[in-house]
Structure 1
Amino acid sequence: MAAADHLEVPRRHGLFMHHGIDLGDGSVAHYLEGEKILRSTLQEFCLGETPRVISYDEADPSGQTLRRAMSRIGEQRYNLLFNNCEHFAVWCKTGQHRSSQVERALGSGALGALAMGQMLPAALLAAVRLLLQRGLSMEQGAGVARRALAELTSLRERLQARLERELQQMEQWWQRESDSDALPRLQAQSLADQLAAVDELEGQLKRLLGESNKAE
């Protein structure tokens, strides 16, 4: 293990994994469930379990990871679905606000991310999930795909408008030379991730419609 490593240890007999960032001095920054981001000793973080280092194909420099982790010590905005210990650790390493545990629980990839944020009607999400699993076999299915694409277009416009506002806020923070810009950066990154999920889901639906048109 080394400074800036993303560590995970099992909790509750392996029912879920707990995540943190090795600070390189025998301590770990991690989001304690239901509480706040703490700087704990490695022993307190592991609670007798053996930690595993999460590997990344691409990650930001160690210094940036450590600065991100330290910038949020004391934060008290824990949320199991939207802001948990894995969200924190992945963001420190990559700048992306993601949790694979949550996405697996809700349905992987873009569909899971949009469901997690409750950004599309639940009934439409359920129908889209069936389409992605089974393909388009009837005109009704094509209609669902077209409706979903229309909803995604509207969602994209709303997210882009919100992202523009967050970026303007970030500029204002930087002009004040604030040392605590983690919150606006995190909000902007979350919006950018949501836009990426919209792009991914749109691509899947357009491919389905294209395959359906060729088969006719």
Structure 2
Amino acid sequence: MGSGVQLHKSGLLFTSKQSIVMWESLGANLLSFADSSAWWIADWLVYGESTFQDRYVEAIKRTSLSYQTLRNYTWVARRFPLSRRRQNLSFSHHLEVVALEQPQQDYWLRKAEQFGWSRNKLRGQVRSSRTEQGAIEQGAAEPESGCEPVPEQVSVHAADAADAPEGRLLHLRLSDEDLARFEAAAKEESGSVEVWAAEMLRRAAAGF
């Protein structure tokens, strides 16, 4: 790990005094390793998904990660093959734009890389853009006076790249109240509402 540092399974032990430069370098290496491990796990899951049966049951036992987290990992890995992954951005950056179409994914990741955006900054920029686009579309088709407002439309990918090679979208119209509840539920599982909604549809279909 480095001079004066011991890495243990349950922690990090400093055995000698570190300079600020050495300490910063160590932190950069640790963060890089942590982010790479997310991609490694994702690719490991994708391989298991295509090769073995009951892969998620076994994966949950080995990783202690939730089913939703594992699904997020495989979705990101399939939507971003190695050639499209940006080395200067984290796995979480890619997760933020995974529900978008490929040109939009590339656009936002390029912006994040260019301006050094954090994951949260990227999320905010994407959401602001979607809000502005929604306002423009609403202004272009303003409902008549006295009409009920049109529920917000959410685009949900029908499946990941393996299940839907044509990248089809399912459009849902939701009331503000329903959308707020769905976003809250998705937040509990640390995923976007699009990822969460797609997973709920998969679970429902599995019962038939």
TM-score normalized by the length of structure 2: 0.28
